[in-house]
Structure 1
Amino acid sequence: MLRIQKVRIADIYVPTARRKLLHPETVRALAEDIVENGLKTPIQVREDGKRFVLVEGQHRLEAMKWLGEEAIDAYLVHARRH
């Protein structure tokens, strides 16, 4: 079973290919939902040396950045590189 842990947003790297898939209107809507209801689903990251690499949850991550948060709930997963 995966455990939720707090991860510093500054320590999360978003792969370049994922950045192209970002939709600002989705980020804005998610940010509003997070303010009202909290973050319901943690993002997924994998460890890569001293940083974490985003596996899933780019819009949630960007919404938390937009809200000025410094940390986010995340599942640490074991994923292979693509």
Structure 2
Amino acid sequence: MLRVQKIPLDDIYVPAARKKTLHPETVRHLAEDIVENGMKTPIQVRHDGKRYVLVEGLHRLEAVRWLGETSIDSYLVQARKH
């Protein structure tokens, strides 16, 4: 079973190709929902030996960053490099 870990936002690398899929309006709506209801689903990251790489959850990551948080609930997963 996956265990939730708090990971500092500054330690998470977002691949350039993933950044292209970011929709600012979605980030704003998610941030509002997180304030009202909390974040229900942690993001997924993999560790490449030096840093954490985002696998899933770009909009959640950016919403939490937009809210001024310094860390985020994450699942550490084993995933192929994209």
Q: Given the two structures, how large is their TM-score scaled by the length of structure 1?
A: 0.98
RMSD value over aligned CA atoms? 0.5
Q: Which runs of 5+ in 2 are unaligned?
A: none
Runs of 4+, deviation exceeding 4 Å: none
Q: Deviations over 1:11-69 (max 9, x none)?
A: 00000000000000000000000000111100000001221000000000000000000
Pairs aligned (count): 82
3-state SS, counterpart of residue 63 of structure 2: helix
Q: Are residues 1:41 and 2:73 paired?
A: no
- Give the % identical residues: 76
3-state SS, counterpart of residue 2 of structure 1: coil
Q: Given the two structures, how large is their TM-score scaled by the length of structure 2?
A: 0.98
Letter matched to residue 50 of structure 1: K
Letter matched to residue 19 of structure 2: R
